[in-house]
Amino acid sequence: MATRNDTAGAATTFCLMHSSGQGPEGWKLLVEELQHRGHRALTPAFDLTKTDEGAAFHAETIIQALRASGQRPTDVVCVAHSASAMYLPIVAEQWRPRRMIFLAALIPQLGRSIIEQFNADPSMFNPAWIGKNPMDDSVALEFVYHDCPTNRIEWALSTRVLFYAKKAMEEQCPLSAWPAVPASYIACLNDRTIAPAWQMRAAREWLNVEPFVLPGGHCPNVSRPEALAKLLDEVAVKP
């Protein structure tokens, strides 16, 4: 049974939304750390085959998992990593969790697509990352898992998926208003995919929050799960 860290915040269920390049298995180490702190975790999987479906379809996958979990919305914090944040405000609008957390993530804008956002502001991504295939081991090691401990590399590579949700990227954000759910942003200072400077600026300008920061690359759930769990524990109880 998970033990409770006396210095941690109130028990929370974290719904961990996986990215376009790493599946639910990639949350394994973080889940263990969260459980050690007395929390619960859900790791729903997107339907990787439905790349011709829009953001609302993929958000519904997460909403169904939340409904089936038996958890109360007020006990749940939704954490979206990287591209999965396209769906986070849609989930929040329909299910109303206690908080949504963007982890080294894109932030969708009302009335625009992610592609339109990038065309208007190419600083969103590291230029060297654009067009790279993360299923290529050398690419993954250079851009995604460059700061992972050596003994985790083989496992990290095994957690990869390829989920380029083309329609969701190309369509305008389907929301007409931003959900009335508190938001936080965790920026990764040595991220080689989504530019750290963009992460911090977007958090301030679009979410109107001061970002929390972690050292290291794009996948702190793999490279520093202990530090990420500690930070999530702190952020989850913010007013």
Query: Is the model's pLDDT at 23 over the cut of 60?
Result: yes
pLDDT of residue 238: 79
Query: Is the model's pLDDT at 8 over the cut of 70?
Result: no
pLDDT of residue 4: 39
Residue 168 tokens, joined: 């969701």
Helices (runs of H) and strands (runs of E) counted in the chain: 10, 6
Q: Specify the fold of 13-236.
A: Rossmann fold (3.40.50)
Pairwise CA distance, residues 149 & 147, whole Å: 7
Query: Is the model's pLDDT at 140 over the cut of 60?
Result: yes
Look up the pTM and report it: 0.94
Q: Where are the domains of the chain?
A: 13-236
Residue 139 tokens, joined: 């690419």
